[in-house]
Amino acid sequence: MSEAISPLQAATGLTDYWSPRVIGEVDDSYVKVAKVKGSLAWHSHTHEDELFYVLQGSLKMELRTGTVELHSGDMYVVPKGVEHNPVAEEECLLLLIEKKSTLHTGDIQTEKTRSIAQQLAS
The residue ranges of every structural domain in the chain are 7-120
> Can you list the positions of beta strands (E) in 27-65?
29-39, 50-56, 58-63
> Can you list the positions of beta strands (E) in the chain?
21-26, 29-39, 50-56, 58-63, 66-71, 75-78, 84-99
Tell the CATH topology of 7-120: Jelly Rolls (2.60.120)
DSSP state of 53: E
Query: 1-24, pLDDT tens digit by residue?
Result: 578 999 999 999 999 999 999 999
Q: In 3D, which of 120, 116, 121 has the Cα closest to residue 48?
A: 116
Query: Is the whole-model pTM more than 0.85?
Result: yes
Query: 35-89, pLDDT tens digit by residue?
Result: 999 999 999 999 999 999 999 999 999 999 999 999 999 999 999 999 999 999 9
